[in-house]
Structure 1
Amino acid sequence: MRAALLYKPGDIRVGEIEEPKVQNPDDVLVKVEYVGICGSDVHYYAEGQIGDAVPEGPFIIGHEPAGVVLEIGSGVSSLKPGDRVAIDPAIHCGRCEACLEGNPNLCLNIRFFGTPPQQGAFREKLVHPEHLLFKLPPEISTAGGAMLEVYGVAIHAVDLGKVKPGYEVAVIGGGPVGLATAQIAALSGASRIFLSEPIPERREMAKKLGADVVIDPTGSDPVRLIMDLTGGRGVDVAFEAAGEAETFQQCIDVCKNGGMAVFIGIPSDDRIVLTASRARRKGLTIKMARRMKNVYQRAIRLAASGMIDPEAMISHLFPLERIAEAFEMLTGEGKGGIIKAMIEI
Structure 2
Amino acid sequence: MQAAVLTAPTRIEIQARPVPEATGRDVLVKVMAVGICGSDIHYYEHGRIGPYVVKGPIILGHECAGVVVAVGEQVRTLQPGDRVAVEPGVTCGYCAFCKEGRYNLCPEVQFLATPPYDGAFVQYIKHREDFLYRIPDTMSYETAALCEPFSVGVHAVRRARLQPGETVAIIGMGPVGLMAVVAARAFGAGRIVVSDREPLRLEAALRLGADAAVDASAADGLAQLRGGADGSGVHVALETAGHPAALQTALGSLRRGGRLAIVGLPPQDEIPLNVPFIADNEADIYGVFRYANTYPQGLALLAAGLADTDGVMITDRYPLEQAQQAMERARTNKSGSLKVVVYPNGPV
Q: Distance in 1 between matches of 2:26 and 2:185?
A: 38
- Opposite residue 241 of structure 2, the aligned amino acid is A
8 Å contact kept, 2:70–2:79: yes
1 CA distance for matches of 2:238 and 2:142? Answer: 26
TM-score by length of 1: 0.95
SS in 2 for 1:261: strand
Structure 1 partner of 2:19: 19
Deviation at 1:220, TM superposition (A): 4.4
Q: How big is the shift at 1:88?
A: 0.7
Q: Could you give the per-residue CA deviations for residues 293-317 of structure 1, whole angstroms, max 9, x where no partner exists? A: 1111111211222224442311111
Query: Contact 2:93–2:103 at 8 Å: present in 1 too?
Result: yes
Question: Which residue in 1 is equivalent to 2:319?
Answer: 319
Structure 1 residue 270: deviation in Å? 3.6
Of the structure 1 ranges 244-253 and 317-326, higher mean CA displacement relative to structure 2 is found in 317-326
Alpha-carbon spacing, 1:274–1:6, altered in 2? closer, same or farther (3 Å): farther
1:179 corresponding residue in structure 2: 178
Distance change in 2, residues 1:170/1:30 (3 Å): same
Aligned position for 2:6: 6
Structure 1 residue 336: Cα displacement: 4.8
With over 3 angstroms needed to count, the CA separation of the structure-2 counterparts of 1:336 and 1:223, relative to structure 1, is: closer
Note if 1:54 corresponds to 2:53.
Answer: yes
Q: Does 1:99 align with 2:107?
A: no
One-letter identity of the residue aligned with 1:317: R
| 8 Å Cα contact 2:198/2:335 also seen in 1 | no
Q: Does residue 218 of the first structure (1) align with residue 200 of the second (2)?
A: no
Following superposition, the deviation at residue 249 of structure 1 comes to 1.0
Gaps spanning 5+ residues in structure 2: where? Answer: none
User: Residues 6-55 of structure 1: CA distance to partner in whole angstroms, max 9, x if unpaired?
Assistant: 1232222222223211132x111111111111111111112211001101
Deviation at 1:90, TM superposition (A): 0.7
C-alpha spacing 1:124/1:271, structure 2 compared with 1 (3 Å): farther
Give the 3-state SS of the residue equivalent to 1:302 in structure 2. Answer: helix
Partner of 2:84: 85
Letter in 2 for 1:6: L
Name the residue aligned to 1:331: 331
Equivalent residues of 1:32, 1:124 under 8 A apart: yes
Query: What TM-score do you get using the length of structure 2 for normalisation?
Result: 0.94
**Is residue 318–residue 326 contact of structure 1 (8 Å, CA) maintained in 2?**
yes
CA distances 1:175-210 after superposition (whole Å, capped 9, x unpaired): 111111112212222111110012222111111111
Distance 1:151 1:267 in 2: 20
Identify if the C-alpha distance between structure 1 residues 130 and 310 changes in structure 2 by more than 3 Å, giving closer, same or farther: farther
* Kept in 2: contact 1:244–1:267 (CA 8 A): yes
Deviation at 1:72, TM superposition (A): 0.8
Task: Write out per-residue CA displacement over residues 223-258 of structure 1, whole angstroms, 9 at most, x where no aligned residue.
Answer: 132235262211111000111121111111111111
CA distance in 2, matches of 1:166, 1:126: 42
- Residues paired across the two proteins, number: 343
Residues 227-266 of structure 1: pairs in structure 2 closer than 5 A: 227-229=226-228, 231-266=230-265
3-state DSSP of counterpart to 1:229: coil
CA RMSD of aligned residues (A): 1.6
- Structure 1's consecutive aligned runs of 4 or more residues displaced over 6 angstroms after TM superposition are none
Following TM superposition, by how much is the alpha carbon of 1:221 offset from its aligned partner in structure 2, in angstroms? 4.2
Distance, in Å, in 2 between the alignment partners of 1:270 and 1:122 is 30
